[in-house]
Chains A and B, each alone.
Chain A
Amino acid sequence: MGRINNSGQLIPLLFIFILIFCLFWFTLLNVGKLMKDKIMMQNAADNSALTCSVLRARALNQLGLLNAILGLPAFGVYVPGLGFTIGKTSYVWWVEPPHKKIGKHTYKDKVKLARKAIKNLILLQDSIIKTYGGGTTYLYSRKIAKRQEIDSSNNETGADEIIPLTSFSLHLKRNSGDIIYLYTTEIYIPPTPITPEIWLWPIPYPYEIERKSKRWLQQDSKNFHKQMTKIIAYKRVDSLSNTGYPVGSGLLGLKKWPDIKTIASSCVYNKKGAMFPEENKNSFMIAFLEYIKAMSGGWYAQLVPVRKQFKH
């Protein structure tokens, strides 16, 4: 009778136990990754939305200040303003200093300068609107969402993409109206033994009338109050950070790894007022006065409830 060989008896049992432990371990790894991703994606959506609003607030504050300058009356002073309005017409008059040349003289240099200053100011405003009211804001928000997480090789493994559900537009319109540029006339007749000195300065005279020209910025009456941004940040199944996941898919029978989508809303607010005049208001210094009213408040950004579809 031979002796029974018992060696190796526990190996299959140990193998099964190790397999089961691995299953638990894999499950934990997968669930942990999913939850970490979900929290990170919510952060990505929040930060992306907040970035968008911060840029919007920055743009509105800059535009408000430029609008206030445009809203000043450039009548007799060297200010690039259109605020001196009578009816629907703005009058711009940069006074030429006196030259005291004998006779009647008209000077156009300062008018040309005033016109150029106003055009440049409007150009500057337009460039800010183009920059912040669309592409750049989207790019910044997208970058923030993507860089929410980076791997050891410095690859961006945050959100794959963002979907804006609202417009990035600043909801501002350009007020248009007639602008009359005035030049300065000077009449000087030196004194004689018989007649006294005659010096008439400054005398305004129309130099150029621009019909329906661009003036200050005003609210878009339909949308200006909608200063809210809603953004969805998502991570796809085939995202770079999902490489290798789910761990142990063969053992666990997992073939699908879920997409993760998160949503966030933010807005800009000003505690004092709108900062920009209402549509088609043309009263005296309206753009400047609206800015002064809302200046101490300023535009700020904050997170807000998403509402409707997904209520946070």
Chain B
Amino acid sequence: MNILKKLPNSVREILECCHKKQKGQTAVETFILTSTFLLVVFFGTIQITIICFNILTANEAVFMSNRSSIVQKNFENAQESAKLSCLYILSKQISKDNIFYYNIKLKREKFIHTASLTYYQKVMFLGRYFYKGIVNSKMAISSSIDFLDKAYPGAKKWEE
């Protein structure tokens, strides 16, 4: 302060003026940093967490769908069963802000069922851009559909 007193008035005024302006600098810096951090990193992390969570759920859904389809008597029943199982597992994730569309396809090749689940998920702040997830599952089907409820020709059903 002693040095300031020795300076001419005009210079001293300018320096004091500058010092006063620095007072809000940290607040502004913090605000900018926080905003950037919040928007990019914070919400980015939330979004990645939601995407990962949905991938896990979709895997579970496609697994259960395929599991339920492999023990059905015909392909129509298998498809219906797969759709119902998928809906059951995904139901808590389906909303306009999360998974807003999904489609499960079942393919039968000899003894193998391939279930493929495609879903679209909304991404925060990206408007029209969506995350498209695809998960698959392969399982061997029950080999003899004629004997899903009885053991041999002419036998009673298990429940009888």
Instruction: Give the interface SS of chain A, mostly helix, strand, loop or mixed.
Output: mixed
List, in ascending order, chain A residues with CB within 8 A of B144's CB.
269, 271, 300, 302
Contact residue among B63, B70, B72, B155 (Cβ-Cβ distance under 8 Å from A225): B155
List, in ascending order, chain A residues with CB within 8 A of B156's CB.
225
> Contact between A28 and B30 (Cβ–Cβ < 8 Å)?
no
> Contact between A269 and B70 (Cβ–Cβ < 8 Å)?
no
B108-160 residues at the A interface, CB under 8 angstroms: 142-144, 146-160
> Contact between B158 and A225 (Cβ–Cβ < 8 Å)?
yes
Tell me, in angstroms, the Cα distance from A7 to B128 when the chains sit together. 42
Instruction: Give the interface SS of chain B, mostly helix, strand, loop or mixed.
Output: helix
Nearest neighbor of B147 in chain A, beta-carbon distance = A269
Interface size on B, residues (CB 8 A): 45
> Contact between B149 and A304 (Cβ–Cβ < 8 Å)?
yes
> Contact between B71 and A305 (Cβ–Cβ < 8 Å)?
yes
CB distance from B43 to the nearest CB of A (A): 11
CB distance from B82 to the nearest CB of A (A): 11
> Contact between B152 and A273 (Cβ–Cβ < 8 Å)?
yes
List, in ascending order, chain B residues with CB within 8 A of A269's CB.
144, 147, 150-152
> Contact between A272 and B45 (Cβ–Cβ < 8 Å)?
no
> Contact between B142 and A225 (Cβ–Cβ < 8 Å)?
no
> Contact between A32 and B56 (Cβ–Cβ < 8 Å)?
yes
Closest 4 CB pairs of A and B: A269-B147, A227-B151, A302-B142, A225-B155
Pairs across A and B, CB under 8 Å, 16 listed: A6-B26, A10-B33, A13-B34, A17-B37, A20-B45, A32-B52, A42-B63, A225-B151, A225-B160, A226-B158, A228-B151, A271-B144, A300-B144, A302-B143, A302-B148, A312-B67
